Amino acid sequence: MPRHNRLLTSVLVALTLSAVACSTDSADTVTSVRGTDDGCLIADSELPAGRIEFGFVNEASDVNELYVLRENGDVVNEVENVTTGTQRSLTLDLSAGEYRLVCKPGQVGEGFASTFTVVGAGGEEVADADRTIEFEAVDFTYNDLDLSDVVVGETIRFEMTNRGGQDHEFEVLDPRGEGIGEVGATKPGAVGGATITFTEPGTYTYVCVLIDPATDKEHVELGMTGSFQVPAA
Ligand SMILES: [Cu+2]
C-alpha cells in the first residue's frame, strides 16, 4: 500500500475511533430506538438512571422525529428532521421513573409511542419550579407571554393553553440555538407544560415549528416566535 494511502487509512481509523469515543464517553448507557412507518421500538425497556444515549435510527420512509416524555407528558427533549436511513443521538440525564417515547414519521400527528422505565439512583432530578408562567397559543402567536424578568438560575414551569385552531408547541432555544426544553405539540383547547432551567445569561428564543397545512409553512415563519434576554446574575 502506498505510504499516503496508509496515512489516510490511519487518519480515518483515528477519526472513526474518536467519533465512537465522543458519542459514548458522555453517556453511561447506550440504547437504540428504531423509528419505522408504524412504530417506535426501543431496544431496552428498563435502563439504569444516569446519562442515557438514545441512538435513533429512522427506518421510516419519511423524515422522522423522536420525543422523550416524562410520565406527566412533559417533553424531556427531542430530535427532529432525521431523514430516512440516518441515525441521530440524543443523550439525556434521567432519574428513576416511567418515560414515554414518541416517533413521528412525517413529523405530524400523534405518532407512535412506546414506554421504558428508568431504575436506580442517580440522574438529574426535575428541578422544582421557582414559579409558573401561564400563556396562550393562538394561530400564529403566543399571548400573555411575559419573559422580561427571567434571571439566571431560575427554573420556570411553562403552561400553555392552546386557544388556536391547530396544534401548537413552544420550544425554547438557548443562546447557542440549542433546544433546552419545550411544551410539545398541544391540541386545540388543551394545556401543555414544560419545566425549564435557565443556566446561563444571553438571548433566548422560542419557536413553534409545526407546519400550517394551509401554507405548508412552519408556524415560526408565520410569526410564531420571539426572543428574550436573561441578564447575568
Ligand atoms: Cu404553532
pLDDT for the residue 10:
47
Q: Could you tell me the distance, in angstroms and rounded to a whole number, from the CA of residue 183 to the centre of ligand 1?
A: 11
Between CA 197 and CA 231 the distance in angstroms is 14
Residue 151 belongs to domain with CATH number = 2.60.40.420
Between CA 140 and CA 149 the distance in angstroms is 24
Residues 70-112 have pLDDT tens digits of: 988 888 888 999 999 999 999 999 999 999 999 999 988 889 9
Residue of 198 and 6 predicted with greater confidence: 198
Domain match, 84 and 112 both: yes
Domain match, 115 and 23 both: yes
Last residue of one domain, picked from the residues 95, 119, 143:
119
Mean pLDDT of 134-158: 96
pLDDT-based confidence at 127, cuts 50/70/90?
confident
Confirm whether 125 is domain-assigned.
no
Q: Which residues of 209-228 are buried (b: 16+ CB within 10 A; e: fewer)?
A: bbbbeeeeebbbeeebbeeb
Q: Could you tell me the distance, in angstroms and rounded to a whole number, from the CA of residue 39 to the centre of ligand 1?
A: 25
Last residue of one domain, picked from the residues 76, 98, 119:
119
Domain match, 103 and 138 both: no
Residues 194-217 have pLDDT tens digits of: 999 999 999 999 999 999 999 999
Q: Could you tell me the distance, in angstroms and rounded to a whole number, from the CA of residue 112 to the centre of ligand 1?
A: 21
Domain match, 144 and 93 both: no
In DSSP notation, 24-54 reads HHT-SEEEEEEEETTEEEES-SEEESEEEEE
Range of the domain at 52: 3-119
The domain total for the chain is: 2
The grid coordinates of residue 218 equal 412552519
Between CA 210 and CA 108 the distance in angstroms is 8
pLDDT-based confidence at 170, cuts 50/70/90?
very high
Domain match, 34 and 77 both: yes
Confirm whether 137 is domain-assigned.
yes
Q: Could you tell me the distance, in angstroms and rounded to a whole number, from the CA of residue 131 to the centre of ligand 1?
A: 24
pLDDT for the residue 75:
87
Domain match, 149 and 183 both: yes
Q: Could you tell me the distance, in angstroms and rounded to a whole number, from the CA of residue 186 to the centre of ligand 1?
A: 9
pLDDT for the residue 27:
92
Domain match, 115 and 9 both: yes
Q: Could you tell me the distance, in angstroms and rounded to a whole number, from the CA of residue 219 to the centre of ligand 1?
A: 5
Domain match, 224 and 203 both: yes
Domain match, 145 and 111 both: no
Domain match, 158 and 211 both: yes
Mean pLDDT of 151-177: 96
Last residue of one domain, picked from the residues 65, 94, 119:
119
Consecutive H or E run containing 12: helix 3-25
Domain match, 165 and 143 both: yes
Q: Could you tell me the distance, in angstroms and rounded to a whole number, from the CA of residue 168 to the centre of ligand 1?
A: 4
Domain match, 175 and 212 both: yes
Residues 8-64 have pLDDT tens digits of: 444 444 444 444 434 445 899 999 999 999 999 999 999 999 999 999 999 999 999
pLDDT-based confidence at 128, cuts 50/70/90?
confident
Residues with Cβ within 8 Å of residue 132, at least 6 apart in sequence: 156, 157, 158, 159
